[in-house]
Amino acid sequence: MRGSLGWQVSQIFKELKAFGQSKFEFKKEFYKKSEDKSMQNYGKEAGIYSYKTYDKYSAIAKDLLHFARDNFGVKDILKLDNHTVKAYLQSKLGNGLSRKTLSGYAGAVAKLETAINKYCASRNLNQTYKFDTASFREQTNKLSYHHLNRAYQNPEAIINALPDKYKLAAKLQYEGGMRVGEVGKLKAENLKVGNAISVRGKGGKSLTYNVSAETFKALSQTLSNGGYFFTRSEGNRYREALKKASIETGQVYQGSHGFRYNAAQDNMLEKLKSGASLNEAKQDTSEMLGHNRLSITEHYTKF
């Protein structure tokens, strides 16, 4: 499917719009005819009866597509697969969200699965989608006892296995903790004195990242010809190269975001070794990553 990510989501969710229809009548028929009468299956199969719910599901679906594009190069909603969706849900575990909020993400993904399948069926497309949200729900129920560490076991090995420009992108993420979207949009004007890089980050927040002199020099040379660091196609190829390098070095592919976990954990250790208190080290790391809440950073810094 072509078109903007928002447009694609709107086309898919048209299949479930039930504004003005009776939710009670659907529920009565559902429990009468459905073999699986669980609340989860009801929520998955029911239409969308309110504008508020529609906006909520649409926002999560668009967030998923942005994640798929930025981490896996997927720009077509019909090319979403279970691996990409699972990676998206896993990424939410490290954001300090409540179980209720995480459950809402799982519910929205299940609703998206239903909408895509109905879209394909109505157009006689020979495609069926199955997104595993059950395992994610199990993880959220055990969230107090388990933590997912998305840092790479050997980030240097992955970086060394990458071609030159992609190697530089990975170093920017690993050394500075930059998001891949921030790296891709870098221009010469973002470079500041003292090996500092100033960007407009997530939510429009002004952020400053610091990298080694060697990496800063290489970045300056790369940006000297003008334009952005990455074109869209280069960004996609970077992710593909990163995935290949992960496999070649015998590591689980954690997406480019895995380097932010490495950067956070390395910064924590460095600050603690230099005599900072635990809270001071966490606060410094939170500022480095551009987080608004310390609770989010705590998920990055758990080993």
CATH label, 5-141, candidates 3.30.310, 1.10.287, 1.20.1510, 1.10.150: 1.10.150
For residue 231, with 0-12 CB atoms within 10 Å meaning exposed, 13-18 middle and 19 or more buried, which class applies? Answer: exposed
pTM of the model: 0.59
Beta carbons of 131 and 82 less than 8 angstroms apart: yes
Q: Which CATH superfamily is domain 155-300 in?
A: Intergrase catalytic core (1.10.443.10)
| pLDDT at residue 145, rounded to an integer | 44
Domains 5-141 and 155-300 equal at CATH topology level: no
Beta carbons of 112 and 67 less than 8 angstroms apart: no
Share above pLDDT 70 across residues of the chain, in percent, rounded to a whole number: 94
pLDDT digit string, tens, across residues 46-91: 888 888 889 999 999 999 999 999 889 999 999 999 999 999 998 8
The residues spanned by each domain of the chain are 5-141, 155-300
Higher pLDDT, 258 or 35: 258
| pLDDT at residue 207, rounded to an integer | 92
Residues 6+ apart with CB under 8 A from 4: none
pLDDT digit string, tens, across residues 160-200: 999 989 999 999 999 999 999 899 999 999 999 999 999 98
